Amino acid sequence: DTGVSQDPRHKITKRGQNVTFRCDPISEHNRLYWYRQTLGQGPEFLTYFQNEAQLEKSRLLSDRFSAERPKGSFSTLEIQRTEQGDSAMYLCASSFGGLKFFGPGTRLTVL
């Protein structure tokens, strides 16, 4: 399968714990995006990388959130001191040019 992959697919954690998600983009794609989606809503932009450089960050990305893309390949999104309001589907997408391809998402539940 040469699509965008995300790991894990589901994560249940207790409030206050740290969690880390991984995204592997389509191999030739230089742009990588993170979005968050809550129930009944469209995805909301969090951040975007071009190669290894993080070029844009949403105000939704509080200082508890950090994203990295070392070597311009896979990316990680870490949430520190999770809160119940962080419960959502975290979606990763990649592109080379305009067409964006999304991964299956990581569903986070914070208890």
Partner 1 sequence: KQEVTQIPAALSVPEGENLVLNCSFTDSAIYNLQWFRQDPGKGLTSLLLIQSSQREQTSGRLNASLDKSSGRSTLYIAASQPGDSATYLCADSNTGNQFYFGTGTSLTVIP
Contact residues for partner 1, defined by CB under 8 A: 4, 6, 31, 33, 35, 40-45, 48, 55-56, 58, 91, 93, 98-105, 107
- Which structure tokens are listed for 99? 């067409």
What beta strand segments (E) does 1-111 contain?
Answer: 5-7, 10-13, 19-24, 31-37, 44-50, 53-57, 65-68, 75-79, 88-95, 100-102, 106-110
CA dist list (Å): 94 to 25, 28, 29, 30, 104: 6, 9, 6, 7, 12
Is the CB of 80 or the CB of 101 nearer to partner 1? 101
CB of 96 to partner 1, least distance (A): 11
Is the CB of 60 or the CB of 81 nearer to partner 1? 60
CB of 26 to partner 1, least distance (A): 12
Strand partners, 79: 19, 65
CB of 105 to partner 1, least distance (A): 5
Is the CB of 55 or the CB of 111 nearer to partner 1? 55
CB of 97 to partner 1, least distance (A): 8
